[in-house]
Chains A and B, each alone.
Chain A
Amino acid sequence: MGTREAPDLGIPTEGLYSGVATVLEHDVIPFVSYPYEWTFGMLRDAALLQLELVRRAIGAGMILKDSSPYNVQFRGSRPIFVDIGSFERLREGEAWAGYRQFCMLFLFPLLLHAWKRVPFQPWLRGSIEGISPQECRSLLSLRDLFRRGALTHVALHSRLERRYQQRDADIKQELKAAGFRKEIIVANVKGLEKLVSRLRSPASTSTWSGYGLTTTYSDADADRKTLFVSEAVTSERPRLVWDLGCNDGHHARIAAATADYVVAVDADAVVVDRLYETLKSERTSTILPLAMNLVDPSPGLGWRGVERRTLLGRGRPDLALCLALIHHVVIGGNVPVKEFIDWLRELSAVIVIEFPSPEDPMVRRLLARKRPHDHPDYRQDWFERCLLERFDLVTSEHLSSGTRTLYHVRPKS
């Protein structure tokens, strides 16, 4: 990941418990993300990177003292290990201390997702330590126990953990005496690599997968929209772009042609996973796909609520795309129009936003699930008033199908 010794900038050691041996720096990760925002494929690839590092470290007489997905970041679709401090000298005869953490934060989340269709994202967001062996065991059926890896890594693991919970026996010493050696760790890691690489996300048709095919746009509208986005991005020359409600990533790609980096966010993890796999096969390093619901974005978590930062706490975009998004936030998420525009203003970014009128087929589909007057504020005139009170209009365009309008606006100073 491009780690090097940093020039001595006179790091203040005052207040530190011990001195500083050396200062390292590494290439800046354009945007920090967390496992509960990743898709199945992303967590799996991060797990495989972690395992490969353990295996190769052992070959060099080292090992990793922990095994946390929070030590992995993504540069586009490429996982990057960011914690040099994890490496330590291998002590002969000792087992891999990070194995339990690997199970709790990588293996069990993936197993439950693949075998039981339990998405790992809400669980990892709710539990910073991950899923314990006992918790994972409780969710497996008898049939699941016949799956590869279930008996040892889950059933036996949970049983041994319960059995040895209250005992202080020096198992480490006993294992060493019984001849435990590094080849055993390597065999275990190779087994895990095989297990993890064979896991597949359960094929399910999510709400929006296939949206690219079933969309209600005419081709002419889609082309105009593409051109509008392209012109806005080219004229603004943003470094960081957020594509909110990215779907198949079409507009994220257009933005990436000009911007340094694009964070492509969608609430549908299945759609985002598909985008990730496509970006991975293209080796794209400038688009980071993330699964997140904007109506309920990632909060601050961990110690003092700052160990894992909120979405906005990790950086703001220079430009945000909100295409075919607002009706989902307002009608689907019950957020008032004014509230949503307020939030957009808080980004202090140039905004490219699409407003589908209440007559639009997609909007009508969402409104059909509500009572007739649940969203009286979802009107184009009210939207425009809220928008133009907080932003200056650069340009707008009414699409020819008649129900959608695009706006390119800059925040009022």
Chain B
Amino acid sequence: MFAYIDPGTGSLLLQAIAGGVAAAAVAAKFYWGRILRFLRIRKPQDEASSS
């Protein structure tokens, strides 16, 4: 992760929560992706290409 200052992993994630309705959908999708990976339904490398 490259940035001029440390954007903070938690801070990035929070923005997918603090950004209203559109953000809620992103947060849901983000965590859904994590559940699928946890259940090994989706492989980690699918992430980037799945959208």
Contact surface of A with B, Cβ cutoff 8 Å: 65-66, 95-101, 103, 133, 152-153, 156-165, 167, 169-181, 183-185, 187-188, 191
Contacts and interface: CB of A to CB of B under 8 A. Distances in A.
Contacts of A103: 11
B15 A184 contact: yes
Given A65-B5, A174-B33, A179-B51, A184 B20 contact: yes
Contacts of A185: 15, 19
A30 B22 CA distance: 44
A66 B6 CA distance: 9
Interface of B: 1, 3-20, 22-23, 25-27, 29-30, 33-34, 47-48, 50-51
Given A66-B4, A95-B7, A100-B6, A175 B50 contact: no
A99 B13 CA distance: 11
B51 A171 contact: no
Contact of B47 (A98, A152, A161, A173): A173
A66 B7 CA distance: 9
A161 B16 contact: no
A187 B10 contact: no
9 closest Cβ pairs, A-B complex: A160-B10, A161-B10, A184-B19, A100-B11, A97-B7, A187-B20, A178-B29, A164-B9, A100-B8
Taking each of B4, B34, B48, which has the highest tally of chain A beta carbons within 10 Å of its own beta carbon? Answer: B4
A123 B15 CA distance: 26
The prevalent SS among residues of B at the interface is helix
A249 to B, nearest CB: 36
Contacts of B14: 99, 152-153, 156-157, 160
B21 to A, nearest CB: 8
B5 A101 contact: yes
A167 B20 contact: no
B16 to A, nearest CB: 6
Contacts of A170: 1
A164 B5 contact: no
A187 B33 contact: no
Given A178-B51, A184-B26, A188-B23, A99 B15 contact: yes
Contacts of A175: 12-13, 16, 26, 30
19 contacts: A97-B4, A99-B7, A100-B11, A133-B10, A133-B11, A152-B17, A163-B10, A167-B9, A169-B9, A171-B1, A172-B1, A174-B33, A177-B50, A178-B16, A178-B29, A183-B19, A183-B22, A187-B22, A191-B19
A97 B3 contact: yes
B35 to A, nearest CB: 12
Taking each of B1, B11, B33, which has the highest tally of chain A beta carbons within 10 Å of its own beta carbon? Answer: B11
Given A178-B33, A184-B20, A173 B9 contact: no
Contacts of B15: 95-96, 99, 180, 184-185, 188
A192 to B, nearest CB: 8
A100 B4 CA distance: 12
A188 B10 contact: no
Nearest to A157: B14
A343 to B, nearest CB: 37
A101 B15 CA distance: 13
B17 to A, nearest CB: 6
A165 B11 CA distance: 11
Nearest to B15: A95
Taking each of B6, B8, B34, B50, which has the highest tally of chain A beta carbons within 10 Å of its own beta carbon? Answer: B8
Contacts of B23: 184, 187-188
Contacts of B34: 174
Contacts of B17: 152, 156
Taking each of A161, A171, A183, which has the highest tally of chain B beta carbons within 10 Å of its own beta carbon? Answer: A171
Given A97-B12, A184-B20, A184-B23, 20 more contacts: A66-B5, A97-B7, A99-B8, A103-B11, A153-B18, A161-B11, A164-B9, A164-B13, A165-B9, A171-B9, A171-B13, A174-B30, A177-B48, A178-B26, A184-B22, A187-B23, A188-B15, A188-B18, A188-B19, A191-B20
